[in-house]
Copies of this chain bind each other. A is one copy, B any other.
Amino acid sequence: MRERIGLRRQPCSELEMLGVVQSIQEEKQDAGFGEMGGDYRLARELSDLQQLRTLYKPQLPPCLQGTTVRVEFGDATIAADPSAKVPDAQFITDHPAVRVGVVFCGRQSPGGHNVIWGLFDSLKVHNPKSVLLGFLGGSEGLFAQKTLEISDEILATYKNQGGYDLLGRTKDQIRTTEQVNAALNACTTLKLDALVIIGGVTSNTDAARLAQIFAERKCLTKVVGIPVTLNGDLKNHFVETSVGFDTICKVNSQLISNVCTDALSAEKYYYFIRLMGRKASQVALECTLQSHPNMVILAEEVDASKLTLFDITKKLCDAVQARAEQDKYHGVVLLPEGLIESIPESLCICNNLAPLQEIHGLLRKGVSADNISGQLSPWASALFEFLPPFIRNQLLLHPESDDSAQLSQIETEKLLAHLVEIEMNKRQEEGTYKGKKFNAICHFFGYQARGSLPSKFDCDYAYVLGHIGYHIIAAGLNGYMATVNNLKNPVNKWRCGAAPITAMMTVRRYGNNPSILRQPALRPATVDLKGKAYDLLRQNATKFLMDDVYRNPGPLQFEGAGAGADARPVILCVEDQDYMGRIKELQEYLEKVRSIVKPWLLLPTFSR
């Protein structure tokens, strides 16, 4: 039985909770599993704003306030709805001391530290003897059993701060037999009741598999997933958005808007900006809706319309030309990081070839970079040779953990700017374009946003998810992900719950051999081209392109609703406008999903 829980709490004052936490501080450092002392990484120099932020205490929704939480168990296919009659509900009043491990996996996302803080507070408020061990250096630290016991003192300078530097992170994977064995060994040796994995699509897929294997091997450690990824692609009917996405979009939108203002001031450059966000174009879409740049090319559009590199170039050139006719020689174009993967695939789709996969396959076989081109299939080779040398070199870099290319290293923005320049020069020579010379400046926005102080929303969301993480553990659930619904509304209206990660997974067939099924996995949620957010973009596309209605959300503010401190991602608000209707649609959809997915998910670990 796969279940979904809803959490409700008897309210108690925050002061009482703080009182409890206070008393715990005196007992800190009693377990002593950490190889580092209590002063580990405490020597931090915080700015005024950073210090002010450490004092911010995230709100908790009513269900998590107080010490008694009611857990409602529903069918996995029914979302927690306060008005629904829940068949099975209980108050969990017994809170034995637990030992919990927590690990950062994957790209660091603003808010990650607050998950640990929330988890820690919830652990300690329910039983001061509970212990939280952080693994130092991500999954590598997990395998090597390098831990740091979390204390309020250690957390002090990391509350509401960006980055993953409290613990660090290394590789993203917990997947190979060796890795899984090392993780199991660590959890057993450290006598962990639970392992909390903070990460995105890949890491939560690993969490689900780990949960299954742990259960099969009678390991007592439960595995819990927390949706934290700046990509915003861990999103499904249970998960409205992931921690970090709001901050990343706000920071990037500020920078994009600054560039728009710059473009409009000097009126001589086109800026091509590539945005971090992996395969899905969620970040690019959200930033477009916040900043109103002239154009965005979503990977999902390219996939759907089977656009070739030449099509995209033509589209861009036509836009440049249309603007030139209005005497405009500036503009801002956004490109998602994942676009490059969509382009060659669509070029070769007729032959069902994917040059990137071919290239990586050859590299793995030991073919040297110089000889790659000759060994590719004719289509892939032709494409490869057409690309400028700097892009060719970037394609030859080793693939990332999830077998996709090192997307952040491939300068698609330069490739497209280069191709547009060639085409515009050609049009000028042919006399079909009579405007000024096309000038482009290229940017990649990723690393400079990823370490940002988290937005108020991400601080709250992460902290609440941390609390829920504890309640999943207290309820004895394995392979569940913490979820919060109704996120577009104020925190006191948030609905907390949890869902089995497997209920969010899908199964795909191998591209070349449809008879082989891949393992079930979470898939990055791509932009829904029939969704409301994309529709909003389409409605405004011409205005954005021609009228320079640039909008600057400005630097992230932490105080004042009027200053946008409480703003939510546009996508979240737009898509949720019809929330109850969506629940209904969800139920119908899940009915279908259940019939399709269930046979692949006979995992004994997901019952209680």
Write the residues of chain A forming the contact surface with B, with a CB cutoff of 8 angstroms. Answer: 43-50, 52-53, 104, 108, 137, 161-165, 168-170, 251, 254-255, 257-268, 271, 290, 292, 390, 441, 443-445, 447-453, 547, 549-560, 562-564, 567
Contacts and interface: CB of A to CB of B under 8 A. Distances in A.
With most chain B CB atoms within 10 A of its CB, the pick from A46, A49, A50, A170 is A49
Given A50-B552, A557-B557, A262 B45 contact: no
With most chain B CB atoms within 10 A of its CB, the pick from A43, A163, A255, A556 is A163
Number of copies of chain A assembled together: 2
Nearest to A48: B564
Contacts of A556: 554-555
Contacts of A49: 552-555, 557, 563-564
A447 B451 contact: no
Contact of A45 (B162, B453, B549): B549
Nearest to A292: B45
A170 B259 contact: no
With most chain B CB atoms within 10 A of its CB, the pick from A165, A266, A443, A547 is A266
Contacts of A262: 108, 163, 447, 450-451
B48 A254 contact: no
Contacts of A552: 46-47, 49-50, 161-162, 451, 453
Contacts of A448: 255, 258-259, 443, 445
Given A163-B264, A557-B559, A559-B560, 9 more contacts: A45-B550, A46-B551, A47-B554, A49-B563, A50-B552, A168-B264, A251-B258, A254-B452, A261-B451
Contacts of A266: 108, 164, 168-170
With most chain B CB atoms within 10 A of its CB, the pick from A444, A452, A562 is A452
A454 B161 CA distance: 24
A279 to B, nearest CB: 20
A558 B560 CA distance: 10
Contacts of A258: 162, 251, 447-452
A403 to B, nearest CB: 19
Contact of A555 (B52, B451, B555): B555
A52 B108 contact: no
A195 to B, nearest CB: 20
A162 B257 CA distance: 10
A329 to B, nearest CB: 11
B557 A555 contact: yes
Given A262-B108, A549-B43, A554 B50 contact: yes
A165 to B, nearest CB: 4
Contacts of A50: 551-552, 554
A566 to B, nearest CB: 10
A275 to B, nearest CB: 12
30 contacts: A43-B549, A45-B550, A47-B551, A48-B563, A49-B553, A49-B564, A52-B562, A53-B554, A104-B265, A108-B261, A108-B262, A161-B552, A162-B261, A165-B261, A165-B265, A168-B265, A251-B258, A255-B448, A257-B451, A258-B451, A258-B452, A260-B451, A261-B452, A263-B451, A443-B444, A445-B448, A453-B552, A453-B554, A557-B557, A557-B558
Contacts of A52: 560, 562-563
With most chain B CB atoms within 10 A of its CB, the pick from A254, A553, A554, A558 is A554
A157 to B, nearest CB: 11
A235 B555 CA distance: 27
Contacts of A452: 254, 258, 261, 555
Q: 3 closest pairs, A vs B, by CB?
A: A261-B451, A163-B261, A555-B555
Contacts of A259: 447-448, 451
Given A259-B448, A259-B451, A448-B443, A267 B137 contact: yes
A254 B448 CA distance: 8
Nearest to A390: B390
Nearest to A257: B451
Contacts of A254: 452, 555
A264 B46 CA distance: 15
A83 to B, nearest CB: 33
Contacts of A549: 43-45
Contacts of A453: 552, 554-555
Contacts of A265: 104, 108, 163-165, 168-169, 451
Given A163-B264, A452-B555, A447 B271 contact: yes
A229 to B, nearest CB: 14
A200 to B, nearest CB: 15
Contacts of A559: 557, 559-560, 563
Contacts of A53: 554
A166 to B, nearest CB: 9
A443 B447 contact: yes
